[in-house]
Chain A
């Protein structure tokens, strides 16, 4: 086990940016989840770390050792592939023992370590089978066992749950979390599924178009998104983004004019001009006394999901989604979100947080 450090890692494919200026320190035993839509550079990051591709510039270290120029087999990095990549011509035992065999661990020790990790992952009964005879969940655990058996310095996971059905996915998610905590193995976990990233990650890295948007704890990514992109990506449904204008302490959204408190960051910085205001669907309440940003609900769009009720509405000319707790049969026609719940972002390509 060791800490891992990325310093200004770049990868370009001709003119196309795969990864740009990626810097991150993963503490020993930490699980960092990398989250983003397809093409955001998260798979490139994983392949660069594994040594399956070479960075254009920048350095990657594990502990004190610089690894970015080493071939994969010298890096002491293990990876669980999206499709598991089990060796179909070998039994489960041979699959799990393969990394040990490649490192010259033989005989009784190989046997003992293989059996130990197989028992830990509940694979003891299928050791002599081939991968073709296993269920999806079992294959997934064989892939985990093969990656963990040699106690790598760094553990990479490439969307390991995406091939499992929804029920199994929740179980395996818990399982991976518990296992990672128990073994204290430094882990980089790549996913496009925010619920995986939020539940598994000690920290979450949100990426877009090869660049890091935010590195923070799951709670902070939700509560203080660093950009309009993060705000619009995290949450189910994600944050509503509305065009607004700030003039001397007054926020104009559609026809509504909201006075900002005297200590509000926009007011303090006297940043007049257009901006993007974000408001979470769950920030709205039907309390008639609540002030702030008002939305008009279209009652025909009500969706009762049981634990929550969703509805679509409008703020001025812009659409919003509103989320109220529990079963709401008589959806209110007017809901409001307090000014304190509004997030402010720059109205430009960066979409950077202003408050």
Chain B
């Protein structure tokens, strides 16, 4: 009985921590600005409106920002997986290499991104990647940022594929690379998919580098900031609601992928 009570209380707390911000964002997006900033606040929306979205969709910045965010997100997923998959495979198979990579990546995570953004900006100015219309500089920055996230997810997934399967494939005539491509990667696909989605979200949400490196060619997060800071809080709220969408979809996709086994039957 007591235990059930704990479960209900705990579950409610977790649900509230997820649902309250979500409700707040949606309420702001669908109510007129006057009501959004009324004091005392109205907990339930008094008046629903699509005006914020109409303004947002009529802005010239949105289509470009959306394209840029999708482009950087997609490129970052590709480049991060390309770099991280071999490293994570090595770490999963060679514990000695793993310890060094582990430490390096943990250290990489402690640098504050704003502190890195400024020297990166200076470097990218020289390289012609600063404020690039295709956000090439931001792509590099996001790749660096996303590598540790992807590494830990992929390493966990690759470790779950028994090394004997790769060895068996080699004895069956596959080259070492062939064994990984034909056996390990198909079996590790849930974690590869999870890593890809996670990396996309990291890039989609990233604000600091985007703000510093893309001063006028803005992807969505700095665009949202720009709307809010320059007197369009309603438009910003509508954009916030749109930015939520991929996050919600991805999390819905991630949950079953992370849970699925896929390895039953290899052994006894």
Interface residues of A (CB under 8 A from B): 50-52, 71-73, 75, 77-79, 81, 83-89, 98-99, 102-103, 130-134, 136, 139, 146, 150, 163
**Shortest CB–CB separation between residue B7 and chain A, in angstroms?**
33
**B173 is contacted by which of A88, A99, A131, A133 (Cβ under 8 Å)?**
A99
Contacts of B186 in A (CB 8 A): 89
**A85 is contacted by which of B178, B262, B264, B267 (Cβ under 8 Å)?**
B267
Interface check B268, CB cutoff 8 A: yes
Q: Are the CB atoms of B264 and A72 closer together than 8 Å? A: no
**CB within 8 Å for A73 and B174 given contacts A88-B264, A98-B169:** yes
**CB within 8 Å for A73 and B264 given contacts A83-B164, A85-B162, A87-B183:** no
Most buried by A among B167, B265, B266: B265
C-alpha gap A51/B169 in the complex (Å): 12
**B266 is contacted by which of A50, A85, A98, A163 (Cβ under 8 Å)?**
A85
C-alpha gap A72/B177 in the complex (Å): 12
Contacts of B156-182 to chain A: CB distance below 8 A: 162, 164-165, 167-176, 178
Q: Are the CB atoms of B178 and A102 closer together than 8 Å? A: yes
Other contacts beyond A78-B171, A86-B266: 4, CB < 8 A? A73-B174, A77-B171, A84-B267, A89-B187
Q: Are the CB atoms of B171 and A79 closer together than 8 Å? A: yes
Q: Are the CB atoms of B168 and A81 closer together than 8 Å? A: yes
**CB within 8 Å for A87 and B167 given contacts A99-B172, A131-B266:** no
Contacts of A150 in B (CB 8 A): 173
**B168 is contacted by which of A85, A132, A163 (Cβ under 8 Å)?**
A85
**CB within 8 Å for A81 and B164 given contacts A102-B172, A139-B268:** yes
Interface check B105, CB cutoff 8 A: no
Task: Give the nearest-CB partner of B264 in chain A.
Answer: A132
C-alpha gap A146/B162 in the complex (Å): 18
Q: Are the CB atoms of B265 and A102 closer together than 8 Å? A: no
Q: Are the CB atoms of B175 and A83 closer together than 8 Å? A: no
Contact with A along B58-73 (1 / 0, CB 8 A): 0000000000000000
Q: Are the CB atoms of A87 and B165 closer together than 8 Å? A: yes
C-alpha gap A150/B171 in the complex (Å): 11
Task: Give the nearest-CB partner of A156 in chain B.
Answer: B171
14 pairs, A vs B, C-beta closer than 8 Å: A75-B171, A83-B267, A83-B268, A85-B164, A86-B265, A87-B266, A88-B187, A88-B263, A89-B186, A102-B169, A102-B178, A103-B173, A131-B265, A150-B173
Contacts of B176 in A (CB 8 A): 71
C-alpha gap A134/B264 in the complex (Å): 10
